[in-house]
Structure 1
């Protein structure tokens, strides 16, 4: 029996963002990147615990340095898959620490639509605890998506 999916209550956290990008990668490649290959483009290699199935949890970490830090730091990310439509939609929760969502459970929705030989990708992240964390993510996602597209164009 499938467990019911409990979505976070975002009503007290109204800050959200939307980023769109035309990707050279096909929808099936991008869907795979978001559900099975996070360590290929986003997460630190070897850190991903992810099944890529609805109602399953995941963990991964990134390692990077903010301007104010003297050396690179480990940044854990946690979440769970809420909805998956192969090659079309990925919806998941996304929780990071002080430099990200400040521990708030946000919802990331990635919509994939064929566009020529590539994909129109629309990413929405909702439920930020404040404007500062939303603005930081809004600045970062375009760079992350550019990197995703570049990496997924290369063969393993």
Structure 2
């Protein structure tokens, strides 16, 4: 859950309803950023719903839903990220999630 080329320097996760997460990372140019949020729904092996907020823009909270379901010998993952402040924010996150999911697929292959 970070931009391409960035190094995760801190990750805290309490994956339960009302639990919180925070991920801090450093971009190649040295800039440090952090995202954080709160879990709203947690169904083991099936569903996660959590808020998503950049520390630098706390007024721009959005919502992420991750659904998992069996698919043959694998798992189908559906990710929905919504409630963006504008189309630019949506497009930037789409690019980021695409990179992250591609990396996850390579890791699990």
Query: What's the TM-score bracket when you normalise by the shorter of the two chains?
Result: 0.7 to 0.9
TM-score where L is the length of structure 2: 0.82
Distance, in Å, in 1 between the alignment partners of 2:7 and 2:51 is 16
Distance, in Å, in 2 between the alignment partners of 1:145 and 1:62 is 17
Residue 4 (structure 1) aligns with: none
Residue 44 of structure 1: CA displacement? 1.1
Kept after mapping to 1: 8 A contact 2:7/2:27: no
Higher RCO, 1 vs 2 (CA within 8 Å, ≥6 residues apart) = 1
Per residue, is there more strand in 1 or in 2?
2
Residue 47 (structure 2) aligns with: 89
Kept after mapping to 2: 8 A contact 1:54/1:81: yes
Residue 49 of structure 1: CA displacement? 1.8
Residue 146 (structure 1) aligns with: 102
TM-score where L is the length of structure 1: 0.59
Where does the alignment leave 5 or more consecutive residues of structure 2 unmatched?
none
State the number of aligned residues: 104
- What secondary structure does 2:11 align onto? coil
Residue 105 (structure 1) aligns with: 61
Q: Over the residues paired in the alignment, what is the CA RMSD in angstroms?
A: 2.2
Residue 72 (structure 2) aligns with: 116
Please say which structure displays the higher CA radius of gyration. 1
Where does the alignment leave 5 or more consecutive residues of structure 1 unmatched?
1-33, 35-41, 66-70
Kept after mapping to 2: 8 A contact 1:43/1:60: no
Q: Please give the per-residue CA displacement for 1:28-55, whole angstroms capped at 9, x wherever unaligned.
A: xxxxxx9xxxxxxx9715x112221110
